[in-house]
């Protein structure tokens, strides 16, 4: 994978979704922007909010689609075209049911695993050759409870653990930006062991 130049936080817009599990991707890019003193601004042509940061001497664009999760691909594709970036330079950050809170994992390529933001992006790109940062939110235990779970707010303990996973991922992000995705992955996946 090339150096990351676009980080897309997946989530749902609006104050009612702000602290839900499904908005772990928004939370990641919001935290990154805050740490680096960047502000998001609405960009109608990209169907979302954008910001720009400098990481390791590289310009990195941040995007929060305003299209709702299941139509995120529209915003992702518009941003890639506008900034003349390749999907391989992109990191999509999303909530992950199959990981417990407190765990974050990097991945390149693969399926969508039922995550609707990934599903829509893969559908519009015609492939899945982009990076993903999966922020664990845990699973409610039964598939019939998933919608309420992802759209609900985490417990106080899970909130802290999700924040810790985001911090761990932010620690290795400069490696991914520098083009050393495998080293970023190795360090993130062995943290706390």
pLDDT of 193 reads: 55
- Residues in binding site for tRNA: 17, 68, 70, 116
Q: Residue 9: inside a domain, yes or no?
A: yes
User: Phi first, then psi: what are they for 177, rounded to 5°?
Assistant: -65, -35
The tally of domains found in the chain comes to 1
Q: Does 139 participate in catalysis according to the annotation?
A: no
pTM for the structure as a whole: 0.96
**Which residue matches tokens 């400098």?**
54
E-strand ranges in the chain read: 6-9, 41-43, 48-55, 58-65, 90-96, 104-108, 131-136
pLDDT in single tens digits along all 193 residues of the chain: 779 999 999 999 999 999 999 999 999 999 999 999 999 999 999 999 999 999 989 999 999 999 999 999 999 999 999 999 999 999 999 999 999 999 999 999 999 998 999 999 999 999 999 999 999 999 999 999 999 999 999 999 999 999 999 999 999 999 999 999 999 999 999 975 5
Q: Residue 193: inside a domain, yes or no?
A: no
For residue 83, give its domain range.
4-188
Q: Residue 119: inside a domain, yes or no?
A: yes
- Residues in binding site: 17, 68, 70, 116
3-class DSSP state for residue 8? strand
CATH of the domain at 60: 3.40.50.1470
pLDDT of 19 reads: 92
Q: Which of 22, 94, 139, 142 is catalytic?
A: 22
133, 119 in Cβ contact below 8 A?
no
CA distance 41 to 189: 33
pLDDT of 191 reads: 78
- Tens digits of per-residue pLDDT, 102-119? 999 999 999 999 899 999
pLDDT of 192 reads: 59
Q: Residue 140: inside a domain, yes or no?
A: yes
133, 106 in Cβ contact below 8 A?
yes
């Amino acid at each position: 994978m090339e150096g990351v130049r676009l980080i897309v936080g997946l989530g749902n817009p609006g104050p009612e979704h702000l602290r839900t599990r499904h908005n772990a991707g928004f939370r990641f890019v919001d935290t990154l922007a805050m740490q680096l003193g960047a502000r998001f601004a609405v960009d109608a042509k990209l169907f979302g909010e954008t910001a720009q940061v400098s990481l390791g001497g590289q310009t990195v664009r941040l995007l929060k689609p305003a299209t709702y999760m299941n139509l995120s691909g529209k915003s992702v594709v518009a941003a890639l075209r506008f900034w003349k970036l390749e999907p391989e330079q992109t990191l999509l950050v999303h909530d992950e049911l199959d990981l417990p809170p407190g765990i974050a994992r990097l991945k390149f390529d693969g399926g969508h695993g039922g995550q609707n933001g990934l599903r829509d992006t893969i559908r519009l790109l015609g492939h899945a050759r982009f990076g993903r940062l999966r922020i664990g939110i845990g699973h409610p235990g039964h598939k019939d409870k998933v919608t309420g779970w992802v759209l609900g707010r985490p417990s106080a303990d899970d909130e802290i653990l999700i924040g810790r996973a985001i911090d761990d991922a932010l620690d290795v992000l400069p490696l991914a930006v520098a083009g050393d995705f495998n080293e970023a992955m190795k360090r993130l996946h062995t943290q706390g062991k």
